[in-house]
A and B are shown apart, each in its own frame.
Chain A
Amino acid sequence: MSGLRQVIGVDVGGTFTDVFVLEEATNSVSVAKVPSTPADQSKGFVAGIAEVTTDIAGIATVVHGTTVGTNALLERKGAPTGIITTVGFRDVLEMRRRDRPTTWGLWGMFEPVVPRNLRLEVRERTLADGTVRVPVDVEEVTSAAQALLDEGCEAVCIFFVNGYANPQNEQAAVAAVRKLWPTPYVTAATEILPEIREFERCSTATLNAYLQPVVARYLDRLQTSLSERQCSGETLIVQSNGGVMGLHMAKRLPVRTALSGPAAGVIAAQAIAEAAGFENIITCDMGGTSFDVSLIANGTSTLAAQTQIDFGMVVRTPMIEITTIGAGGGSIARIDEGGLLDVGPHSAGSDPGPVAYGLGNDRPTVTDANIVLGRINPDRPIGGKMQQLDVDAARDAIKQHIAQPLGINTMQAAEAVIRVANAKMAGAIRLVSIERGHDPRRFAVMPFGGGGALHTGALLSDIGLAAAIVPRYPGVTSALGCVVADMRHDIVQTVNATLDGLDAKEIGERMLALASEAQNTLQRSQAALAGIVQVFELDMLYLGQTHTVTVPIEIPDGGLTVSAIHQAFETAYRAAYGRLLEGIAMRVINMRVAVIGKRPKFDLSVLAPRTSGTRQDCVLGTRRLWANGQWHEATIYERLELPAGTEIIGPVLAEQPDTTIFVDPGLKARVDDFGNLIIKKQDSSWPIKA
């Protein structure tokens, strides 16, 4: 039965839940988009799967990109959390690394996710060399935990100073807390990050605790809903590093999902761009509440070792570098105190959503502006559940809240809302490109998410990007990323020894043992794997430095040797900094093992459009739309029917179930062999591949 080879990618965004199905046996795909259900995202999730398959029992793997963690962090909606820590150190979380939000100006503010009265101290102390100076008193820990429960805490983080050097006290305390704590939401700092630097460890672990009840409850509900429908396949969660992990791990380490959804989008974009022949792209994921930008240069995305989600909210686990701003389709437009038009970061999400949804919101959103401007078809709302959008309500909201206060007409006001939103998006793109020294003229922008393709034209001209690539299914790109993402399991262990006198052979054997353990975990999953790659690295430095260099290591059959490590370090150090240091000892801090289960290469030509037929076959009609201060009569095409090689000239609209593409006046578009729509300025030439 072919059902057993179904791989399903599900991306739950703030507004829509996207589903992408790959039938591995027949190499065919199908997609669906349903409204998200923020109160319980698992409902939308299961509804989405039911939309694309009746054979839920036959699913082999469900891969899931989630924004539950992301949203809880950004909106500060994690669980009430407490901290139990070493006496003298309850303020570590709040004191940060003694920084400020901006270099210039002294108007910073910071509110930690755990307020000061929920950070309790116990007597215990471990020294930097691992000596336990004051053993922990378990009873004191127990009463601190009880006090936090009494205060209504649902989660707790136990963080002891120097726990990385010897976790004995911390482990004893954690064991005591776990005995008493009514839920599994107990995070030990050294279990999350056994690495020196108290603030980074405390912050990462505290955010893990803060997210755990929210994410774990969600995943439990999901698991229940799936098993109620006899789904026996494996569920995997996309991590912020772009690899996937099992449910059990995700519930234990929810902080690794901080950028799960956005990471899935970047993975998909990378695969699509590679197939289409673009090496340099900027991905823009426009959802209902946010706009995520990431840069792929020479075909690779960047992993950051540490990410600041917001000022003072530091997560130290590897993540794909993604910049997020609060500008999405649901972002609310308003006139601020100074009388200026502003858009976001407040969002109406999908429930109640834009005014035109008629679900109770009366403040105009970016989507309402697009509807009023004629760029969204009110008779064919994306996502399917609604039959009709209320154009008049959207127009009234813009008139009342924007046009009248500014003294302009409604159409001008709607266009102004879009222009302000575009300027914010352009700013985010500049941040990752120009401000890091990349010339946007060499980059193509890849919009995805439900609303991105409506704004592409403006981004092309505002920033001077070379082209836009609108993927065949822009609304479900992140879901596609779930399907193509590799399995990934990372392990870190501290070594902390000088290279001279190191038992290199033993280090090599330990790394191999860790790798085979991780490999077993991967192979236990039912996901089809095309191959397994093991990556071995050592974090090393010259004795006296505090920052490490990542040194890739190969472990030959005869075993690892000190001289091989020495040589590998010098190669890595020279590449990073140039000049080697004579006569200074080298130190190995950590060993890192990554085992990557390569998922079968998914041939993107399954997305190819038909090759016969003409543009004329795909005309759905015309619509009046407003752009650049005047009305235009625009042709509307059925996007998915457009044959490969078709060229269309703006202003046109191309509609499909998961999104609408707006080709502005002055732009042209062409369908490539993979069904991508390549958009450029009318006076520019087509790239060879497109």
Chain B
Amino acid sequence: MIDPVTLAIMKGRLEQIADEMDATLFRSAFNPIIAEAHDASHGLYDAITGDTLVQGKFGLPIFVGVMAFAVKAVIDKAARDGGLADGDVYIFNDPYDGGTHLSDFRLVRPFFHAGEVFCYLASVGHWHDVGGNVPGNYNPVATECFQEGMLIPPVKLFERGILRHDIVDILLANSRLPGSLYGDLNGQINALDLGARRLGALLKEYGDATVAEALATLRDRASQRMRAHIAELPDGCVSAEDFLDNDGIVDEPLKIALDLTIEAENMVMDFSRSSPACLGPVNIARSTTIAACYVALKHVFGDVPANAGVLEPVDFIIPEESLLAVTAPKPVGGYTETILRLIDVLFQVIAKIAPNRSNGCAYGTINALSLAGHRSDGRRWVMFSFFGGGHGGHPNGDGLNHGNAPISTATIPPLEILEAAYPVMFTQWALRPNSGGDGKHRGGLGAIYEIELLEEQADVFLFGERGKFAPPGVAGGKPGAKNTFIFETETGQDTPPFVSKMVGITLARGQKVRLETPGGGGYGPPVERSQAARDRDVELGYVTGPTA
């Protein structure tokens, strides 16, 4: 048995390796989605199963779950290729094999020790542009993945330590922003190099048996903690459902339904009553669904260590070819919206059986907004960013104003960085009054972002949600405000026909777009909110007008 002090040190050292890999990429990346918003992740993965062993603290939580599938995809591919050699690195972005969407490029590198694969090191990062119909790749009207970007299956980027320049050439030729792609790719390679150096030093210092035992013990601890938490919940089945506005192609709501069964220390998450696969890009692969459930459970049970052990006591029922388990070439570009809804339904279910562990739903949409055009000198530009909203009220107090999405820890790029990089000017970057759901503890406020175009013209794309179905409150709390998007036209103002999704609106110099993001849902009945809290809301302008 490994002693508790050594185990604690191993845990720290291994997490440190992943954290340093994160930091290396964040600081050397070219595109702000990685450099500023940290839409990337690094970790160590099991040599045989690909399961997550250790994950960096600063990367995107959703990647914690999906990277295991990505590494497994490489393990399988390497077996077909006839084995791996020291110095090989695979690269790919196939979402059906490794989860998420085409923008996320994964690099997977076997770490050899004493002639055998000890574990895998992997890096995933959201690239700025990977081809397809829409700059920035959030194509709300895609009906096949081919309209969303290039699709690269697992191929060798390095063969025995030698970079294959032909692969790099293929990647560069398929992006609108090859310079950015080249910089990010190099950042990811650097991160893997660093990880390999650090892990090598650790094995030398402590010996591979100690490190391996620490990894196994950490996993056992995660599953034990998780079992203990599940055992505290009442046995039985409880359900919740929530909806997506539409798929961008057909304007009909899509249902995400969860029937959660607790039996002693095990849990079954059954999504059978959810909608079938849709035409548009809000489908997700089965691996993405499981990864999202992992994130949701970790939010509810935050003290469980972040590794594959979390999911050991959990079984999934996800019908094949449903919205939550599609295969190629169904479009998956908007996966973020669907997994946010998965997290919302879990909080709603938990609120019914353990309200003191739940919270009002957060704003529930990534709001991927891109503005793209050409500068007067002909250079192409693509401004692409995700925007924030309110978190739900919770047992301890009002929800956080302007938080990040539960699937990420991404920070928003500074508006000054955006203005320095692109021909735009923000005319408002503010909290949105009256957007938090009422309740004993009010939902946090969403935000208002208003942007004016400074160049001749630009195309605008929006991929959002929660335009028709507001973020629900829990335990008697009211819903937050819905998402709204307004753009200027020659004749005045307009809103998208699909409410939260829009493709190819052309904006002229001096015209503006305005995004008002949802607030969080409330927690507890509004009658229980104190008068002092209501007065303070009015004084600070969080609540205005007749509703106050």
Contact = CB atoms under 8 A, between A and B. Distances in A.
A99 B416 CA distance: 17
A97 to B, nearest CB: 4
Contacts of B430: 88-91, 95
Contacts of A92: 429
A95 B27 CA distance: 23
Contacts of A435: 12, 15-16
11 contacts: A99-B404, A106-B392, A116-B431, A116-B540, A161-B415, A436-B12, A436-B16, A544-B30, A547-B28, A579-B193, A584-B179
Contacts of B32: 546
A577 B190 contact: yes
B362 interface: yes
A629 interface: no
A537 interface: no
Contacts of A546: 32, 35-36, 413, 417
B266 interface: no
Interface in B165-224: 179-180, 182-183, 186-187, 189-190, 193-194
B416 A197 contact: yes
Interface stretch (B76-84, B329-337, B418-426): B418-426
A107 B427 CA distance: 31
A106 B362 contact: yes
Interface of B: 5, 8-9, 11-13, 15-17, 24, 26-30, 32, 35-36, 57, 61, 179-180, 182-183, 186-187, 189-190, 193-194, 298-299, 302, 306, 359, 362, 387-388, 391-392, 394-398, 400-404, 406, 409-417, 419-420, 425-431, 447, 450, 454, 539-542
Given A95-B429, A161-B415, 6 more contacts: A88-B429, A104-B302, A116-B540, A197-B417, A430-B12, A584-B182
B190 A542 contact: no
Contact of B391 (A95, A100, A128, A439): A100
A98 B400 CA distance: 10
Contact of B183 (A95, A127, A197, A545): A545
Nearest to B386: A98
B359 A107 contact: yes
Nearest to A109: B397
Query: Most A CB atoms within 10 A — which of B32, B298, B362, B425?
Result: B425
Nearest to A97: B411
A104 B412 CA distance: 18
Contacts of A436: 12, 16
Interface residue SS majority, chain A: loop
Interface string A271-304: 0000000000000000000000000000000000
4 tightest A-B CB contacts, nearest first:
A437-B16, A98-B388, A104-B302, A97-B411
Nearest to A133: B425
A161 B16 CA distance: 36
A115 to B, nearest CB: 6
Contact of A105 (B299, B397, B401): B299
Interface string A128-166: 100001000000000000000000000000000110110
A95 B445 CA distance: 10
B402 A94 contact: yes
A196 interface: yes
Contact of B450 (A88, A91, A200): A88
Contacts of B541: 116-117
B35 A547 contact: yes
Given A108-B391, A434-B8, A545-B183, A127 B425 contact: yes
B409 A100 contact: yes
Interface of A: 88-92, 94-100, 102-110, 115-117, 125, 127-128, 133, 161-162, 164-165, 196-200, 430, 433-437, 439-441, 463-464, 542, 544-547, 576-579, 581, 584
B28 A545 contact: yes
A128 B416 CA distance: 7
A577 B186 CA distance: 9
A106 B299 contact: yes
Given A107-B394, A434-B12, A97 B400 contact: no
Contacts of A199: 414
A233 to B, nearest CB: 44
B183 A544 contact: yes
Contacts of A128: 416, 419-420
Contacts of B57: 103
A542 B183 contact: yes
Contacts of A105: 299, 302
Contacts of A463: 5
A119 B95 CA distance: 46
Contacts of A116: 431, 540-542
A164 B416 CA distance: 9
B394 A106 contact: yes
Contacts of A90: 430
Contacts of A94: 401-402, 431
B539 A117 contact: yes
Contacts of B419: 127-128, 162
Contact of A115 (B9, B27, B540): B540
B409 A99 contact: yes
Contacts of B36: 546
A434 B9 contact: yes
Contacts of B402: 91, 94-96, 98
A116 B402 CA distance: 14
A616 B112 CA distance: 61
Contacts of A125: 425
A71 B257 CA distance: 50
B346 to A, nearest CB: 12
Nearest to A96: B402
Contacts of B180: 544
Nearest to A434: B12
B416 A161 contact: yes
A564 to B, nearest CB: 23
B459 to A, nearest CB: 21
A252 B12 CA distance: 41
A104 B541 CA distance: 30
Given A545-B29, A578-B193, A117 B540 contact: yes
A579 B190 contact: yes
Nearest to A118: B540
Contacts of A117: 539-541
Contact of A196 (B9, B194, B417): B417
B409 A103 contact: yes
A419 to B, nearest CB: 17
A97 B27 contact: no
A409 B302 CA distance: 36
A547 B417 CA distance: 11
Contacts of A464: 5
B431 A437 contact: no
A548 to B, nearest CB: 9
B239 to A, nearest CB: 22
Given A196-B417, A436-B12, A547 B540 contact: no
Contacts of B190: 577-579
B129 to A, nearest CB: 13
Contacts of A106: 299, 359, 362, 391-392, 394, 400, 403, 406
Nearest to B301: A104
A625 B412 CA distance: 56
B183 A576 contact: no
A547 B400 CA distance: 28
Contacts of B13: 437
Contacts of A578: 189-190, 193-194
A116 B15 CA distance: 39
B502 to A, nearest CB: 22
B28 A577 contact: yes
Nearest to B447: A95
A97 B412 contact: yes
A547 B27 contact: yes
Given A103-B61, A108-B391, A161-B416, A544 B400 contact: no
Contacts of B414: 97, 196-200
A545 B30 contact: yes
A642 B27 CA distance: 52
